[in-house]
Amino acid sequence: MIILMKTGSTQQDIDAVVSLLKERGLGANLSTGSQATVIGVLGDKTKLEGANLELMEGVEKCVPIMHSYKLASREMTPEGRTVNVGGVVIGGKKLVMMAGPCAVESEEQVREAALGVKEAGAQFLRGGAYKPRTSPYAFQGLEDEGYRILRRVGDETGLKVISEIVSHDEIDVACKYCDMLQIGARNMQNFRLLREVGRSGKPVLLKRGVASTIEEWLDAAEYIMSEGNYNVVLCERGVRTFETATRNTLDVSAVPVVRERSCLPILIDPSHAAGKAAYVAPLALAGVAAGADGLIVEVHPNPRTARSDAAQQLTVPAYKELVEKVSAVAAAVGREL
Amino acid sequence: MIILMKTGSTQQDIDAVVSLLKERGLGANLSTGSQATVIGVLGDKTKLEGANLELMEGVEKCVPIMHSYKLASREMTPEGRTVNVGGVVIGGKKLVMMAGPCAVESEEQVREAALGVKEAGAQFLRGGAYKPRTSPYAFQGLEDEGYRILRRVGDETGLKVISEIVSHDEIDVACKYCDMLQIGARNMQNFRLLREVGRSGKPVLLKRGVASTIEEWLDAAEYIMSEGNYNVVLCERGVRTFETATRNTLDVSAVPVVRERSCLPILIDPSHAAGKAAYVAPLALAGVAAGADGLIVEVHPNPRTARSDAAQQLTVPAYKELVEKVSAVAAAVGREL
Amino acid sequence: MIILMKTGSTQQDIDAVVSLLKERGLGANLSTGSQATVIGVLGDKTKLEGANLELMEGVEKCVPIMHSYKLASREMTPEGRTVNVGGVVIGGKKLVMMAGPCAVESEEQVREAALGVKEAGAQFLRGGAYKPRTSPYAFQGLEDEGYRILRRVGDETGLKVISEIVSHDEIDVACKYCDMLQIGARNMQNFRLLREVGRSGKPVLLKRGVASTIEEWLDAAEYIMSEGNYNVVLCERGVRTFETATRNTLDVSAVPVVRERSCLPILIDPSHAAGKAAYVAPLALAGVAAGADGLIVEVHPNPRTARSDAAQQLTVPAYKELVEKVSAVAAAVGREL
Amino acid sequence: MIILMKTGSTQQDIDAVVSLLKERGLGANLSTGSQATVIGVLGDKTKLEGANLELMEGVEKCVPIMHSYKLASREMTPEGRTVNVGGVVIGGKKLVMMAGPCAVESEEQVREAALGVKEAGAQFLRGGAYKPRTSPYAFQGLEDEGYRILRRVGDETGLKVISEIVSHDEIDVACKYCDMLQIGARNMQNFRLLREVGRSGKPVLLKRGVASTIEEWLDAAEYIMSEGNYNVVLCERGVRTFETATRNTLDVSAVPVVRERSCLPILIDPSHAAGKAAYVAPLALAGVAAGADGLIVEVHPNPRTARSDAAQQLTVPAYKELVEKVSAVAAAVGREL
C-alpha cells in the first residue's frame, strides 16, 4: 500500500499517519517530493483493516499495490494450473470443446445435440437445467429433470456434463448429475454460491460478470479456491458496453491478461458475446488465436424451435464446420484439438 | 412485435413468416416499403415463444414494442404506488430518509448512529448484517447477530429497520427482525432470491445492478411482484462507467425515467454512487431535486474506525447538515421531509 | 511518480532504475516491503519524458501522483475562477442561464426563442450555426449566416451570444459575432481547435466528450489555458453508457468532482443528456442542486418544426416553468438567478 | 421508419400522423394490435426531415429501419470493396501489414524501424508526424518534417507511407508526402476533416472512435465517401469500457459486424487496444482469426527511448516473431501474408 499525502499536508499530518502505522506493527517509508509526500507501508496490510487511512487529515489517497487474490494469482503458481474433469484436462496443450443447447428442452433434443457435437469432436455436453431469465414470464428451464437428462445422455455418448447452478439449494443434485458446475455471469458475485461450490470440490467454470473487471473476477475465483477447491476454470463471455450490434462485447484481451495475472485456465464463450449465430465462428477463432484453452458454444439440433437464445445457437453442421476451423487455428498457435 | 424483413427478401420468405403467425393464431399486417417489408404482429406475442422468427429466411430483425413487465409498469397503475412500512409511507409527498452504518459492527456503534440519524430526522435505520464483499478475505458482517442488533436499536429509537439479504436461506430470520428487506446491486438478478422475497410479502428495497438497464431493473421488480408482493421500492445507486473519479456514476436520469415507465417509488443512494463522503451531499440533493422519493445514506458515528466503506460514510453532524439542505431542496420541488 | 517493482525483481533491476533517475537529475526513495519494492521519484517528472521506466526489467508499473494539468487545477487557484462575458459573471453566486434553439434555422425562429428566454430570465442566447451531425445527409446548419442572425437578435434583445465552433477556420467570424465560443463534445480533443480558441482570448464553453474522463476534460481545458486564455467554463452534457433510456447519462457527480479538482466554473446541459423534453427539467434541477453554476438548455419556439434534436427541445412556456423551479432550487442551495 | 403509437392513443392522433405522412407524399400502413397501433412509413424518409413525428400527440417512438449510410453499406456493394494504394490491395486475400513507430522522432529512428518491418514483411510504414496528445505539455510530434522523413524512408525502403492527419490545414502537405491518410479515433467525428479527406481522393484509414458505435463509424465513412472518395479502410483500435487492465477493450466483434453491414475493408490496431506490448500479439492474432484484412502495429527500434506510447510498442524482433505467427493464423483462415 502506498499513501499519497495532499499537496499542503503538514508535518503533523504525516506524523499522525506514521504513528498509526507503527501502532499496528507496520513500517513506513517516506518519499518527500517537491509537491507531495508519499508514504510506503511495509508489512502485512491486513493489519490495516478498519484503519481507514484515507480519512486521516492530509491524506489524498491510498493506492494498493498487491492483488487481493492469492491462490488465483500467477505469482503463487507460476507454472499455471490444469483442471482435470474425469480424465479431460483443461489448460493443457489440447483445447477443450464444450457444446450443447442453451436450455435442456427434452431428452431427444439433448441427445440429438450431444451426438452431433460428440461427432464433431467435443468432450463436454453443456445445457441449461435452471435458466436465469430477465423476465419472470420467460421459460425457466426443466430444473432437476434437466440435470438428469444431461447425465443420461452424457453417459450414453461418453461426454462430460456441465450445467449451470443458480442457487446453492441445488448443489447436491447438481453435483450428483454433473461433472462440472457452471457459475453464470449474473452469479459471479453471488458469494454464498461461490463458497458452496468451493466446498463441494467439484470442478467449476466461472463466467465473468458482464460488468466485472478482471480483478473482481479473480477475486470471485479466490472465493471458490479459499474453500479448498482449486478446480476453477474461467470463462470470458462478453462485457456490457455501449455497442448494440452484438449482445455483449467479447473482451478477447482477457485471455492474455488472465494468463499473465492468474494461474487458472480460461475458455471463451462466443455465443453469449455474439448473440447472433453468424458472429459465433469469428469470435471463437479469435479466442483460440488469442490463446484460450477451449470454447463453450451453444449448439441446438434445430435452433428455430429453441425456447431461449435461438438467434445465437449454431446448428450441428455449423458447429462441425466451426470445429474444423478451430482445429486449423489451434495448430497455427501451437495447440491442438 | 414488428418483424423487419431484409432488403432482398423474397415473397416466399414473407409468406413463410405470415403462415407461421397464422398457425399460432396471430394476425399479420404488411407494410411494403421501397426498400423493405415490415410485418406487424397482431395478438398476444407469448404465443410466439420458441418460434424464433429472427432465424427465418429473409428476416432482418424483430423489434419488440411492449415492455416485458406489466405489474411494475406505469400503464397498469397510472396513479403510481406507495409502499407502507409500518406506518411510514414511501412514495407520498413526504420524503423518506434511511440512514445508518455500512455494516453493523457492534450494538454501541449502531445505537450511536441510530440516535444521531433519528435526531436528524430519519425514519429508517439501515445497516449491513450480511455483507457481500469483493474479496473473501474482507470482513463479511456479523450475520444474524447483526439483524438482532438492528432490531433492538430500532425498537429503542422508534426507527424502522432495513437490512440487506444476500441469500434466501436467511429470509426467515431477516423477516423476523427487519421491517424492510434490501436486495443489493449484486443480487438484482438473483432470481431465486427475488421470488423468495416476493413470497415473503415483506416490503423490499430493490437496488439497481451496476450494469443493469432500467428495463432489466423493472423486470427484476416484476419477479417480486409476480409472486404477489407489490411492496417494492426501487433504489438507484450508480452504474458502472469508464469514469474513475467516483466509485460509480449516479444515473440521476433514472428518477424521471422510472417515474414515466413504472408505478413504483424510487430512492437514491448517494453513498455508493459517490464512494467519497465529500460527494454525498451534492448527489443526495441532485436526487431530491430530480424527484426521488427519499434517500438512503451511510452514516457512521466514527467513519475512521469503520470496517468497510469508510471513505463514503458521513459523520452524524455531516448527516444533520445534509438533512437540513435536503429539507430546503425538497420544499423547492414541492416535497417535504 | 511512484515506480512499483515486480515481486521477484532483482537488486540489479532496482539499481538500474535508481541509476536512470540519478542520470536525469532526480532523486529516488526506496520502500522495500515484504513482497515488493516501491521507488518514489523525487523532482520534476518532465525530466522523465522518453525514459519509459515501465519497460525496464523488473518494473511492474508506474503510478503518476500529480495531475498533468496545472492552470486548470484547484491547487493553483484555490479560490476558484469566474469568467466575465461582457458583464455577465459565470461562477459567482448568481447562476447563469443560457438558452435557445438547437440550430439556427431562421431569424424569425431565433428571435421568437430569444424573446421568450429573455423574458424567462436567461442572459445568454444559444444556437447552432455550424452543426456537427452524425450523418452527412442531415441538416448541417446555416453556417456564417447563423452567426450573424444570432448577433443581430442578441443585440436586439440584450442577450449575450454563444455558438459552437467546429473548425478553426471559422474562428475569426465566430469571434466577430459571438460573445462566447462553444467547443462541442465531439471536439473536446480537437487539440488544434483548443489551441486556436486559446489564442483568440474569447471566453469558451468547453463541453465534456461523451467518453472522456474528468481528468481528460481538465487536460483539454489546460490546452486552452496554456495559450493564455483563462476564460474557460466547463459543461457536463452526459456520458455514453450502456443505458438506452436516455440519449446519454448525465454525470451529475462531475459537479462536485470538478469543484474539488479544478478552479473553473461548470454548467449543466440537461438537453443533450436527456434527449427527451420530459426529462430536461428533472436533470436541470439536479444539476443546480449539485452545485452547478448555471444551465444551457435547448428551447425552440415550435419544437415540432425543428430541423434537429426536436425531441429534446423545450417550448418557451416549458422553459419559463423550468426557470421558476430552478429559481426555487437555487435559493435552497444558497444561489440565486 | 416505423411509428409506434402509445397505448391509449386516440383515432384522432393516428389520423393526424397519417395526414402528415400524406402531406409529405408518403404512404402509411397501419397495424392495429390489441395494445398498440403501429404505422409503417412507405417512401423516402428524407421527406420527413423536420417533421418530428415523435412529438406528435399519441406517438410513443419512431424506429428507423434503414441505415443512414448508403455508400458504405454492404447492401449497395454486396461484393465488397478493395482499396488499392499504389499497387498494394487492401481487402483481398492477402493481408496488409502496416507497422512503424508511434511517433516520428528522427530519420534514423524511422529508418531503423522501416528496415526492420520491411524485412519482417510489412508493406506500409506508419509513424505519427502530428501527434494528438491528452496533455498540452506532452511531445506533439515533428509535424511537417515528420511527413518528409516518412516519405524519404518510404522511398528508400519501398514501403508505402501512412500517417495521421489531425487538421485539414495539413491536407496538402500530408497528401504530398503520404500514400494513405489516417484519421485517428479522436477525429472520427471531425466532420470537416472527413469531408476534406473525402475531397482529396487519397486513400484513408478511418479509425473507430473510442466511444463510437459501429453505425456511427460507418456514418463517418459515409462522410468521406459522399465526397466521391471510396478509398476508405476501417480500423478497429479498441473502445472505452470500465476495464482498466488494458488501455482500451478491443472489440474484435467489429470485424464480422462490419463485414456484414459494410462493403469496406477492416484492419485491426492491436497496439492502442492493448496499451502494453505483451498483449499485442494475442490481440493481433485474434483480429486475423476473426477475419480482419490486416494489421497496423506500433514498432520502435528501441521502445525504451520512445517519446510516446512506449509501453505498447514492439521491438523489431518481437514484430518479426509476430508476423510469423500471423502468417500461420492467416493460412488457417484461408488468407495469406
- Helix residue ranges, H only, D87-181: 107-120, 144-157, 171-177
CB contact under 8 A, D32 and B29: yes
Read off φ and ψ for residue C163, nearest 5 degrees.
-150, 155
Q: Which chains touch C (3 or more CB pairs under 8 A)?
A: A, B, D
* C274, C288, C291: residue with CB nearest B253: C274
CB contact under 8 A, A31 and C31: yes
Task: Please report, as a single letter, which amino acid is at residue B220.
Answer: A
Query: What's the residue count for chain D?
Result: 337
Q: Which of A55, C63, A189 is nearest to B314 (CA)?
A: A55
Residue numbers in D near A282 (CB within 8 A): 252-253, 255-256, 289-291
User: Which one of A69, A169, A192, A213 makes the best mutation probe of the B interface by having the most chain B beta carbons within 10 Å?
Assistant: A192
pLDDT computed for residue A35 by the predictor: 66
As a whole number of Å, the CA-based R_g of chain C is 23
Domain containing residue D33 = 2-63
Residue numbers in C near B214 (CB within 8 A): 243, 245
Q: Is residue A71 part of a domain?
A: no
Confidence category of residue A177, pLDDT binned at 50, 70, 90: very high
**Do C100 and C145 fall within a single domain?**
yes
The three three-digit cell numbers of residue A76, written as one number: 503463487
**Do B108 and B45 fall within a single domain?**
no
Q: Is residue C73 part of a domain?
A: no
**Do C89 and C19 fall within a single domain?**
no
pLDDT computed for residue D60 by the predictor: 83
* B241, B245, B285: residue with CB nearest C333: B285
Q: Which residue has the cell 467525428?
A: D189
SS3 content of chain C, % helix, strand, coil (to 5): 40, 20, 40
Name the pTM for this structure: 0.92
User: Which one of A2, A18, A239 makes the best mutation probe of the C interface by having the most chain C beta carbons within 10 Å?
Assistant: A2
| Contact residues for D318 (Cβ-Cβ < 8 A; gap 6+) | D277, D281, D299
For C275, nearest residue in chain B (alpha carbons): B253
Q: How confident is the model over C140-176, as pLDDT tens digits? A: 899 999 999 999 999 999 999 999 999 999 999 999 9
How far lies D46's CA from each of A146, B18, B60, D49, D199, in Å? 52, 30, 22, 6, 24
Q: How confident is the model over A219-276, as pLDDT tens digits? A: 999 999 999 999 999 999 999 999 999 999 999 999 999 999 999 999 999 999 999 9
| Contact residues for D237 (Cβ-Cβ < 8 A; gap 6+) | D185, D207, D208, D248, D250, D268, D269, D272, D273
How far apart (Å, rounded) are the C-alpha atoms in residues D181 and D192?
Answer: 15
CB contact under 8 A, A2 and C33: no
pLDDT computed for residue C168 by the predictor: 93
Read off φ and ψ for residue A42, nearest 5 degrees.
-110, 125
Sort residue A202 into left (φ over 0), alpha (ψ -120 to 50) or beta: beta
Residue numbers in C near A8 (CB within 8 A): 75
**CA distance to partner chain C, nearest, from residue B198 (Å):** 26
Q: Is residue C179 part of a domain?
A: yes
**Do B41 and B109 fall within a single domain?**
no
**Do A109 and A10 fall within a single domain?**
no
The three three-digit cell numbers of residue A298, written as one number: 451453444
User: Which one of B23, B48, B137 makes the best mutation probe of the A interface by having the most chain A beta carbons within 10 Å?
Assistant: B137
How far lies D161's CA from each of A156, C84, D100, D164, D266, in Å? 60, 48, 10, 10, 18
**Do D56 and D95 fall within a single domain?**
no
List, edge to edge, every strand of the sheet that includes D59-63.
D27-32, D37-42, D2-5, D59-63
Task: Please name the helix (run of DSSP H) or strand (run of DSSP E) that holds residue A325, with its range, or none.
Answer: helix A316-332
Q: Are A294 and A92 in contact (CB under 8 A)?
A: no
User: Which one of A65, A247, A248 makes the best mutation probe of the C interface by having the most chain C beta carbons within 10 Å?
Assistant: A65
Q: Which of B281, B265, B272, B279 is nearest to B326 (CA)?
A: B281
**Do A294 and A251 fall within a single domain?**
yes
Check if the interface score ipTM surpasses 0.85. yes
Q: Is residue D71 part of a domain?
A: no
CB contact under 8 A, B282 and C274: no
In the predicted model, what is the mean pLDDT of residues A6-11? 84
pLDDT computed for residue A208 by the predictor: 98
Confidence check: pLDDT of C78 > 70: yes
Q: Is residue C325 part of a domain?
A: yes
Residue numbers in D near B30 (CB within 8 A): 29
**CA distance to partner chain D, nearest, from residue A67 (Å):** 13
pLDDT computed for residue D20 by the predictor: 87
**CA distance to partner chain D, nearest, from residue A261 (Å):** 10
* B29, B66, B240: residue with CB nearest D35: B66
CB contact under 8 A, C311 and D210: no
Residue numbers in C near B328 (CB within 8 A): 331-333
Q: Are B16 and B57 in contact (CB under 8 A)?
A: yes
- Mark the ranges of chain D whose per-residue pLDDT is less than 70: 33-35, 50, 65
CB contact under 8 A, B29 and D41: no
Residue numbers in C near D129 (CB within 8 A): none
Q: Which chains touch D (3 or more CB pairs under 8 A)?
A: A, B, C
**Do D290 and D229 fall within a single domain?**
yes
Confidence check: pLDDT of A199 > 90: yes
**CA distance to partner chain B, nearest, from residue A238 (Å):** 13
How far lies D11's CA from each of A328, B78, D24, D36, in Å? 61, 21, 20, 12
Read off φ and ψ for residue B79, nearest 5 degrees.
-80, -10
Confidence check: pLDDT of C68 > 90: no
Q: Which of C263, C265, C240, C262 is nearest to C251 (CA)?
A: C240
Total domain count for chain A?
2
CB contact under 8 A, D69 and C135: yes
- Mark the ranges of chain B whose per-residue pLDDT is less than 50: none
User: Which one of B17, B18, B38 makes the best mutation probe of the D interface by having the most chain D beta carbons within 10 Å?
Assistant: B38
* A251, A291, A325: residue with CB nearest D243: A251
Percent of chain C at pLDDT > 90 equals 74
Q: Is residue D194 part of a domain?
A: yes
CB contact under 8 A, D31 and B33: no
Task: Please report, as a single letter, which amino acid is at residue B219.
Answer: D
pLDDT computed for residue D322 by the predictor: 98
Task: Please report, as a single letter, which amino acid is at residue C48.
Answer: L
Confidence check: pLDDT of A181 > 80: yes
The three three-digit cell numbers of residue A332, written as one number: 497455427
Q: How confident is the model over A16-74, as pLDDT tens digits? A: 899 888 888 888 878 776 667 878 787 777 777 767 787 788 888 887 767 889 999 99
Strand partners, D164: D182
Residues of chain D in Cβ contact (below 8 Å) with chain B: 2, 4, 7-8, 29-36, 38, 40-44, 63, 65-66, 75, 240-242, 244
Pairing state of beta strands C232-236 and C204-207?
parallel
Read off φ and ψ for residue D210, nearest 5 degrees.
-65, -20
Task: Please report, as a single letter, which amino acid is at residue B271.
Answer: S
CB contact under 8 A, A136 and B49: no
Q: What is the mean pLDDT of chain A?
A: 93
Q: Is residue C77 part of a domain?
A: no
How far apart (Å, rounded) are the C-alpha atoms in residues C167 and C196?
Answer: 9
Q: Which residue has the cell 510516446?
A: D308
Q: B309-324: string of b/e by CB count within 10 Å (b at 16+)? A: bbbbbbbbebbbebbe
**CA distance to partner chain A, nearest, from residue C37 (Å):** 9
For B209, nearest residue in chain A (alpha carbons): A211
In the predicted model, what is the mean pLDDT of residues A91-103? 97
* D136, D139, D219: residue with CB nearest C134: D219
For B328, nearest residue in chain C (alpha carbons): C332
pLDDT computed for residue D49 by the predictor: 72
Residue numbers in A near D257 (CB within 8 A): 245-246, 279
CB contact under 8 A, C279 and B287: no
**Do D43 and D181 fall within a single domain?**
no
pLDDT computed for residue C57 by the predictor: 85
The DSSP letter of residue B209 is: P
CB contact under 8 A, D40 and B34: no
Residues of chain C in Cβ contact (below 8 Å) with chain D: 46, 49-52, 54-56, 68-69, 132-139, 166-169, 186-187, 189-192, 195, 209-211, 216, 219, 222-223, 226, 240, 303-307, 310-311
CB contact under 8 A, A282 and D288: no
Pairing state of beta strands C204-207 and D232-236?
unpaired
Q: Which residue has the cell 448577433?
A: C151
Using alpha carbons only, give the angle A156, A158, A164 rounded to the nearest 5 degrees. Answer: 90
Say what angle helices B214-225 and B191-200 make with each other, to 10 degrees. 40
Task: Please report, as a single letter, which amino acid is at residue D26.
Answer: L
Confidence check: pLDDT of A82 > 80: yes
Q: What is the CATH number for C43?
A: 3.30.70.1140
Residue numbers in D near C186 (CB within 8 A): 189-190
Q: Which residue has the cell 457444446?
A: A99
For D186, nearest residue in chain C (alpha carbons): C189
Range ranked top by mean pLDDT from A134-148, A275-289, B62-76: A275-289
How far apart (Å, rounded) are the C-alpha atoms in residues C54 and C38?
Answer: 13
Q: Which chains touch B (3 or more CB pairs under 8 A)?
A: A, C, D
CB contact under 8 A, D251 and A243: yes
Q: Which residue has the cell 453491414?
A: D261
pLDDT computed for residue A34 by the predictor: 63
**Do B10 and B154 fall within a single domain?**
no
For A242, nearest residue in chain C (alpha carbons): C242
**Do A41 and A98 fall within a single domain?**
no
**Do D45 and D118 fall within a single domain?**
no
Number of inter-chain CB pairs under 8 A, A vs C: 65
**CA distance to partner chain A, nearest, from residue C115 (Å):** 39
Q: Is residue A337 part of a domain?
A: no
Q: What is the CATH number for B106?
A: 3.20.20.70
Q: D162-200: string of b/e by CB count within 10 Å (b at 16+)? A: bbbbbbbebbeebbebbbbbbbbbbbbbbbbbbbbbbeb
